[in-house]
Chain A
Amino acid sequence: MAEAKAKKPEASGGEAPLRLTPELVAFIDEWREKPGNLIMVLHKVQSVYRYIPRTIAFEVAERLGIPLAKIYGVVTFYHLFKLQQPGRHQIAVCMGTACYLKGGQDLIQEFENLLGVGLNTVSADGEFSVESVRCVGCCGLAPVLTVDGETFGKVTKEQLPDILAKYRGA
């Protein structure tokens, strides 16, 4: 921790260093004095960057006066927060009970065949990453998957290439 604090990370891999957007600064200021603000702020961060970038976590730590270790603890505890940048399009296959019984696992397997990477890994072209999620709450449509929040119900393996084609490059 002490080491991490001493050395503020430069941007990794040649990317321009990320800075807090004015919108985020305003949001953090609004929540700064409220107790229990960390999770709400992290949600906001992730809604902007789609994950919690390390450089931003440093900024949040400083502005909220919360140790980075505590932020790391919270980020790793909750499933929704990501430390790695996801693909341009995020596919979520529901693995709630109804979807599991109706073949959610087969969909995940088929995505692996089609994209060449398993769960939580970005495909080589950077387009897609697939994750398995808890119940998305449309069990009547099982098995269900979502792409960038758009819901597809009663999905079969055969439909997956078309679904990918719809988003690829879009």
Chain B
Amino acid sequence: MGYRTFILVCGGEACEGGGSAALVEALTREVREQGLEDVAQVVKAGCFGFCGQGPVVKVLPDESVYVKVQPWDVADIVAQHVRDGRPVERLLCDRSRNRERTRVEVPDYYQKQFRIVLRNCGVIDPESIDEYIAREGYAALDRALFDLDPEGIIDELRRSGLRGRGGAGFPTWQKWVFTRNAPGDEKYVICNADEGDPGAYMDRSTLEGDPHSILEAMAIAGRATGAARGFIYIRAEYPLAIRRLEMAIEQARARGLLGRDILGSGFDFDIEIRLGAGAFVCGEETALIASIEGKRGMPIPRPPFPAVRGLWGRPTVINNVETLANIPVILLKGGDWFASIGTKDSTGTKVFALTGKVNNSGLIEVPMGTTLREIVTDIGGGIPGGRAFKAVQTGGPSGGVIPADFLDTPIEYASLQELGSIMGSVGMIVMDEEDCMVDVNKFYLEFAVDESCGKCAPCRVGGRTMTNVLDRIARGAGQESDIDQLREIGHAMQKASLCGLGQTAPNPVLSTLRYFREEYNAHVFDRRCPSRKCRDLVVFYILPEKCIGCGLCARRCPVHCIEGERRKVHVIDQAQCIKCGECYTACKFDAVSQK
């Protein structure tokens, strides 16, 4: 091919939402109009991970990263960069620290990252099997079919130390051994792509950016465990990922990489897609199996584990997307290579969706053992607006918060668990001083209550009771005994719930009680919300010394509870105030204060 320049446009969900599809069209048209179609190719790639700055365009070979690109920037990119070889300075991403514009070098954002799972995301066209194959795609399957026997595959995994990325961190090779050794002719491989945690979209980006890697890994799992059929259970809320998976499955079948007698090896394996329908509990493996069977997604007690009796009562191995995405690389580069990355007990890398109150939000992949501080400060670029860091939440509604004192904790399965959080297949949400722990926990608990399937009492009743108590505290009606009660119910739920949802639902509350007890105390004893988030506890008042009597606040007030003559100090009638905060935002003289 004679292409000298490649213009990669991010096709991730956030950039699509920002209009990247129109950019692809505009760029293609512009390249053609300027007569450059023989030297430059426009490619719609998978997620670049720099989601907070989208739509993102990357120009190869010099790897300039353009951020927040708009249709009217297209002419400049093509004329200046592609034709004249001069990057368009104004579109280059700002370096977070020294505000210098990066030319050829990569933004800081990427420098601490190490990509295994996301190796192809944003690099290849996810809709082309040829591009995947060109990046050693399906070479691992080839090795699994011809160079290794099933024991050899499992042994490679054992040496890699890979553990499940979905939550509990169970060693992947053991799961495979259990399924392999379980009696039965018919076995299944399931890919858990039911990424239901709020604030997490790692799996979506992997599926959208590199669908073939999942198919390849599932076929390898089938070969190792003796399964001939695979199912991908994916959220219906991810239409783009579903479409790309369907496309990838068709392409793989056409090339003989899925279906009967793969590559002439005599091994049969095929994959079907099954859609979820918006139930968080279906991330739990027994509930997921029930859902694939077409039933209400309710978990059942384990054992027997799915490895022995899973889908339709047959031995089934279930791995999540991120776990699977590692597997082709492990087979190609060897388990020992993989084990050399990360730490002793937590090998490899971890993908996080870094979101919340952080300057650079997006998808990141770092070696295990990286500290939270490196992630928040170096990659995330710190907190916007100069506000103070408060905590990082990991593990979503099943995890916990990690306060500033523990920012230097390396990320590992054990260290996170010790802090009361979990690895989970989830996002990393940065919170600043404006976020109230009581409020955030109410959010998580309401989520868990809403998603509880209602089968077992500890989760059904416990979750509801805890939410009521938190609600009471947030309304300023908390009692001294409430905090102990939260703790008691929480421990009972952890011990007695049937599945992971109920067992982990109290985690956010318990972990914040541990690190932010004084915040609960302020709500309960002082009837005060230090972050001023709990509306019922906030009081708005006008500072007489600052009020000039312009009357703007009175005009904005939706319930007309602010009175005062023109050019005289105004007063808020507290009995009528609905605490909407309009006066606070309206005042140009900072005369409205809140406590």
Interface string of B250-294 (1 = CB under 8 A from A): 000000000000000000000000111111100000000001111
Binds A, one of B120-128, B349-357, B515-523: B349-357
- B18 CB contact (under 8 Å) in A37, A139, A141, A142: A141
Nearest CB in chain A: distance from B352 CB, A = 11
- A101 CB contact (under 8 Å) in B236, B274, B357: B357
Asked whether A97 and B237 contact (CB < 8 A) given A74-B296, A140-B52, A153-B17, the answer is: no
* Cβ-closest chain A residue relative to B204: A137
Which residues of A142-158 have CB atoms within 8 Å of chain B's CB atoms?
Answer: 142, 144, 149, 151-153
- A142 CB contact (under 8 Å) in B275, B280, B355: B355
Which residues of A62-78 have CB atoms within 8 Å of chain B's CB atoms?
Answer: 73-74, 77-78
Nearest CB in chain B: distance from A126 CB, A = 24
Interface string of B12-52 (1 = CB under 8 A from A): 01101110000000000000000000000000000000011
- B201 CB contact (under 8 Å) in A36, A38, A139, A153: A139
Whether, in the assembled complex, B393 has its beta carbon less than 8 Å from a beta carbon of chain A, the answer is yes
- The count of chain B contact residues (Cβ–Cβ below 8 Å) is 52
Task: Give the chain A neighbours of B200 by CB distance below 8 A.
Answer: 135, 139
Which residues of B311-366 have CB atoms within 8 Å of chain A's CB atoms?
Answer: 312, 353, 355-357, 361-362
- B277 CB contact (under 8 Å) in A42, A100, A137, A141: A42
Asked whether A97 and B429 contact (CB < 8 A) given A74-B294, A136-B237, A141-B54, the answer is: yes
Whether, in the assembled complex, B295 has its beta carbon less than 8 Å from a beta carbon of chain A, the answer is yes
CA distance A39 to B278 in the complex (A): 11
The CB with the most chain A CB atoms within 10 A, among B14, B275, B280, B295, is that of: B14
The CB with the most chain B CB atoms within 10 A, among A39, A101, A137, A149, is that of: A137
Which residues of B419-469 have CB atoms within 8 Å of chain A's CB atoms?
Answer: 427, 429, 431, 435, 440, 443-444, 453
- B427 CB contact (under 8 Å) in A97, A133, A136, A141: A97
B275 to A133, Cβ gap below 8 A? no
Which residues of A19-54 have CB atoms within 8 Å of chain B's CB atoms?
Answer: 35-40, 42-43
Nearest CB in chain A: distance from B560 CB, A = 16
Task: Give the chain A neighbours of B199 by CB distance below 8 A.
Answer: 96-98, 135, 139
B278 to A152, Cβ gap below 8 A? no
Number of A-B contacts (CB under 8 A): 133
Whether, in the assembled complex, A134 has its beta carbon less than 8 Å from a beta carbon of chain B, the answer is yes
Whether, in the assembled complex, B66 has its beta carbon less than 8 Å from a beta carbon of chain A, the answer is no
Nearest CB in chain A: distance from B17 CB, A = 3
CA distance A150 to B332 in the complex (A): 40
Whether, in the assembled complex, B211 has its beta carbon less than 8 Å from a beta carbon of chain A, the answer is no
B201 to A138, Cβ gap below 8 A? yes
Whether, in the assembled complex, B374 has its beta carbon less than 8 Å from a beta carbon of chain A, the answer is no
B196 to A134, Cβ gap below 8 A? yes
Asked whether A134 and B277 contact (CB < 8 A) given A140-B52, A153-B18, the answer is: no
Asked whether A101 and B429 contact (CB < 8 A) given A42-B277, A139-B361, the answer is: yes
Task: Give the chain B neighbours of A39 by CB distance below 8 A.
Answer: 274-275, 277, 291, 294
A36 to B274, Cβ gap below 8 A? yes
CA distance A97 to B393 in the complex (A): 10
* Cβ-closest chain B residue relative to A41: B294
Asked whether A77 and B356 contact (CB < 8 A) given A38-B294, A97-B396, A139-B199, the answer is: no
Task: Give the chain B neighbours of A133 by CB distance below 8 A.
Answer: 237
Task: Give the chain A neighbours of B296 by CB distance below 8 A.
Answer: 73-74, 77
Nearest CB in chain A: distance from B236 CB, A = 6
Whether, in the assembled complex, A166 has its beta carbon less than 8 Å from a beta carbon of chain B, the answer is no
Asked whether A36 and B357 contact (CB < 8 A) given A97-B396, A101-B431, A138-B13, the answer is: no
Whether, in the assembled complex, B297 has its beta carbon less than 8 Å from a beta carbon of chain A, the answer is yes
Asked whether A138 and B51 contact (CB < 8 A) given A39-B274, A74-B295, A100-B443, the answer is: yes
Nearest CB in chain A: distance from B281 CB, A = 9
Asked whether A137 and B292 contact (CB < 8 A) given A39-B274, A80-B236, the answer is: no
Task: Give the chain A neighbours of B279 by CB distance below 8 A.
Answer: 77-79
Task: Give the chain A neighbours of B238 by CB distance below 8 A.
Answer: 137
* Cβ-closest chain B residue relative to A136: B237
Task: Give the chain A neighbours of B444 by CB distance below 8 A.
Answer: 97
Whether, in the assembled complex, A81 has its beta carbon less than 8 Å from a beta carbon of chain B, the answer is yes
Task: Give the chain A neighbours of B276 by CB distance below 8 A.
Answer: 78
Nearest CB in chain A: distance from B336 CB, A = 35
Whether, in the assembled complex, B564 has its beta carbon less than 8 Å from a beta carbon of chain A, the answer is no
Nearest CB in chain A: distance from B238 CB, A = 7
Whether, in the assembled complex, A95 has its beta carbon less than 8 Å from a beta carbon of chain B, the answer is yes
A139 to B427, Cβ gap below 8 A? yes
Task: Give the chain A neighbours of B280 by CB distance below 8 A.
Answer: 134
The CB with the most chain B CB atoms within 10 A, among A40, A43, A100, is that of: A100
A98 to B274, Cβ gap below 8 A? no
Task: Give the chain A neighbours of B17 by CB distance below 8 A.
Answer: 138, 141, 144, 151-153
Nearest CB in chain A: distance from B394 CB, A = 11
A98 to B427, Cβ gap below 8 A? yes
Nearest CB in chain B: distance from A74 CB, A = 6
Nearest CB in chain A: distance from B279 CB, A = 5
CA distance A13 to B427 in the complex (A): 46
- A151 CB contact (under 8 Å) in B13, B356, B357: B13
A98 to B277, Cβ gap below 8 A? no
Task: Give the chain A neighbours of B239 by CB distance below 8 A.
Answer: 149
Whether, in the assembled complex, B184 has its beta carbon less than 8 Å from a beta carbon of chain A, the answer is no
Interface string of B235-252 (1 = CB under 8 A from A): 011110000000000000
Q: 21 A-B Cβ contacts within 8 A? A: A36-B292, A36-B293, A38-B294, A73-B296, A78-B279, A79-B278, A81-B277, A97-B444, A98-B198, A98-B361, A98-B429, A134-B196, A134-B198, A135-B198, A135-B201, A137-B195, A137-B204, A137-B237, A139-B201, A142-B361, A152-B17
Beyond A97-B355, A98-B199, A138-B13, 20 additional contacts (C-beta under 8 Å) are A36-B274, A36-B292, A36-B293, A36-B294, A74-B295, A78-B277, A97-B427, A98-B356, A134-B237, A137-B195, A137-B201, A138-B51, A139-B353, A139-B356, A140-B355, A140-B362, A142-B355, A142-B361, A144-B17, A151-B13
Binding site for B on A (CB under 8 A): 35-40, 42-43, 73-74, 77-81, 95-98, 100-101, 133-142, 144, 149, 151-153
8 shortest A-B CB distances, which residue pairs? A140-B51, A151-B17, A78-B277, A79-B278, A96-B198, A137-B201, A97-B199, A139-B355
